[in-house]
Amino acid sequence: MLRFFPIRRKLAQAGVFLGLIMTLSLGACQVFPFMPDHYTFTRQAAQTALERKFPFHKQYGQLIAINLSHPVLVLHPENNSVSIALNADFSSPLLDQPVTGGFAINSQLAYDATRQAVVLKQPTLEKIDLGELPGVDPKQLNAAASLLATQLLDHYPVYVFKPDQLSFSGVAYEPGEIRVQNDGIRVQVVEKH
């Protein structure tokens, strides 16, 4: 009986090894077992990433200078979008004095493969508050702020993936569905084809 014990142990080891190979090969069909099938980054993580990009200054020739600061990110799971409120300072020779106020944009999210980032997609102006500006047409100001929101913040990154988050053991992955939740943003991870 003692002669068969080493054979049993070798059979058990072979069974465990075979089971491991089967598990790994089945898992590789979808997502590698050690690779998560999604990442969820918190609102605070996205807020922190967003804050790194500000304050932001943009000069449009001699016509207008814009300073954006203090972004505040709000999640809207009910329509799978985010809002970003910003402080805005405008100065221009066309204005009697610099203008301070704020505006908010609302945007869907998308994945930009070139930058490996979750970005704002087609943001729209949600609201603007610049107070009373004598001699300034509010419709023109709203149009200018809307143009700023769509051109300046379109494809703006709210989260950038680290290279090791999208590859494992020589296999490349990419984000799939992006869902805004109450506590964060959930990004599905799928094998890249």
DSSP codes joined into one string, 141-182: HHHHHHHHHHHHSTT-EEEE--GGGSEETTEEEEEEEEEE-S
Q: pTM of the entire structure?
A: 0.71
Using pLDDT thresholds of 50, 70 and 90, give the confidence band for residue 8.
Answer: low
**For residue 186, is pLDDT > 60?**
yes
**25 pLDDT band (50/70/90 cuts)?**
very low
- CATH number for the region 46-157 comes to 3.15.10.40
Q: Tokens for 18, please give them.
A: 């075979």
Give the pLDDT confidence of 87-124 residue by residue, as tens digits.
988 887 877 778 888 889 999 999 999 999 999 999 98
Longest dimension (CA), the chain: 102
Q: Is the pLDDT of residue 19 over 60?
A: no
Give the pairing of strands 81-91 and 99-112. Answer: antiparallel
